[in-house]
Amino acid sequence: MADWKRRVAEKTLRVGVLGLGYVGLPLAREFAGAGLKVLGFDIDDQKVAILNSGLSIIKHVPHEQVKKMREKGLFEATADMSRLREADAVLICVPTPLTANREPDMQFVEKSTQTVARYLRKGQLIVLESTTYPGTTRELMLPILEKNGLKAGRDFHLAYSPEREDPGNKSYTTKDIPKVVGGLTNECKEMACALYEAAIVRTIAVSSLEAAEAAKILENVYRCVNIAMVNELKQVFERMGIDVWEVIGAASTKPFGYHPFYPGPGLGGHCIPIDPFYLTWKARQYGMATRFIELAGEINTGMPHYVVQHVMEALNERKKSLKGSKVLVLGLAYKKDIDDVRESPSIELIELLRAKGAKVDYNDPYIPATHKQREHDLGMKSRKLTGAMLKQYDVVLISTDHSAYDYEWIVENSQLVVDTRNATAGVRKNRNRIVKA
Ligand SMILES: NC(=O)c1ccc[n+]([C@@H]2O[C@H](COP(=O)([O-])OP(=O)(O)OC[C@H]3O[C@@H](n4cnc5c(N)ncnc54)[C@H](O)[C@@H]3O)[C@@H](O)[C@H]2O)c1
């Protein structure tokens, strides 16, 4: 332990980050920023080549940061997994999606653990960062890692520390977000804490791997349930002629006991629509139902349908039908100012609108074209925004409230705007063209 701490302090410890995506790359940046050498691993050769050329692969990690890491010799990416032996710590940041039946899809965690096991050597610390159900590290990873004869807690060390990254958040980047850490043994936990403390603001040690896994799930269930609650309240208040955004603004002035959540066109991203169902699946093994999660899922997945209904009604008011109408969806990303479309409600909106016979285009300054996803293949390109093109659409649907949009100008040039984010709150002119949904 003393030797580990000394090597962290002297920055001679080599950090391996496995999975260089939205979580892995910012994490690698933080360790390199703290002066530790980082070896990044990914199965995607193209990603590896781009990163090694000094360019970034995600919008909120600028190219200059990758270039600087490379120039200082603090970062290298590789697809050669045998080099895992060079790392003293391996931080695993691979995807944890759902299967088509909405059950945990553990193939990425399983395969990456098998790879780590193949090259595991004495003294290494292995940490899972992916969001998952309580029990994953001990029940799924531990047996795979021990199958070649090395014993966890004695020959190598095992910990779980969830990534709490919030892409696009300018106030909190990876290094500012305290890290919850659970270890298989006390020593595993202390080694992981010592490592993270070199690069991250603070660590919070918890008593077990499972407590750390559950903490991350709690955070995401909390968001999912509260977003569902305001989505439901939006619909109730609308019937009563009350603006939910005004109400949230007023309630938010309470200095304690209230935290604002905002309604929207549906849940998006890699985390909130997915992670709670990891717990639902695990709870079933204990004969328990997660009713809050199920109910929240029901309300949140209904939101795109609610929005489409409002688009139809707004067109109807103007003696038009959705079938044959031209619709421009503004924003494809699942939230403002990022370039991530995973689980984005905009995609579902486009599919629902198309299914009802609308001719749909989209604009997103950060997503020039759609690419094939597991369940979707829209085959679309972002349309350039001009005043003349906006006028051609029967309705402009604001799905993502990117800061780059000039909402006054958009409303001025549109026939009808359906706003799912209250993005047009500050627009003064032509308010009769705006419908909130
Ligand atoms: N994106 C977020 O905002 C966010 C925030 C907090 C937590 N998380 C969690 O972090 C985890 C990673 O999410 P992400 O958004 O970074 O995913 P991502 O898809 O952006 O990145 C994952 C990377 O892992 C690579 N990969 C897959 N299998 C591999 C393997 N066997 N060996 C090596 N590399 C492999 C992929 O090629 C990809 O580059 C998930 O569990 C997610 O729930 C994500």
Phi-psi region at 204: left, alpha or beta (left = phi > 0; alpha = psi -120 to 50)? beta
Q: Is 400 helix (H, G, I), strand (E, B) or coil?
A: coil
Where in the sequence numbering do the catalytic residues fall? 271
Identify the residues whose C-beta falls under 6 Å from ligand 1: 18-24, 41-44, 47, 93-96, 108, 111-112, 115, 130-131, 163-165, 167, 270-271
pLDDT less than 50: residues of the chain: none
* Tens digits of residue pLDDT in 255-281: 999 999 999 999 988 888 899 999 999
Ligand 1 centre and the CA of 97: distance in Å? 9
The per-residue pLDDT for 273 is 87
- Residue whose CA lies nearest to ligand 1 atom number 10: 130
In testing the pocket of ligand 1, which one of 91, 270, 275 has its CB within 8 Å of the most ligand atoms?
Answer: 270
Contact indicator for 77, 38 with CB cutoff of 8 Å: no
Environment class of 272 (CB within 10 Å of its CB; exposed 0-12, middle 13-18, buried 19+): buried
Rounded distance between C-alpha atoms, residue 237 and residue 384, angstroms: 36
Residues 6+ apart with CB under 8 A from 274: 96, 97, 98, 343
For atom 26 of ligand 1, the residue with the nearest CA is 19
pLDDT tens-place string over residues 146-192? 999 999 999 999 999 999 988 888 899 899 999 999 999 999 999 99
Contacts of 232 (CB under 8 A, 6+ apart): 299
Share of the chain above pLDDT 90, in %: 92
**pLDDT at res. 100:** 87
pLDDT recorded at residue 375? 72
Within 10 angstroms of residue 255's Cβ, the number of other Cβ atoms is 6
pLDDT of amino acid 86: 98
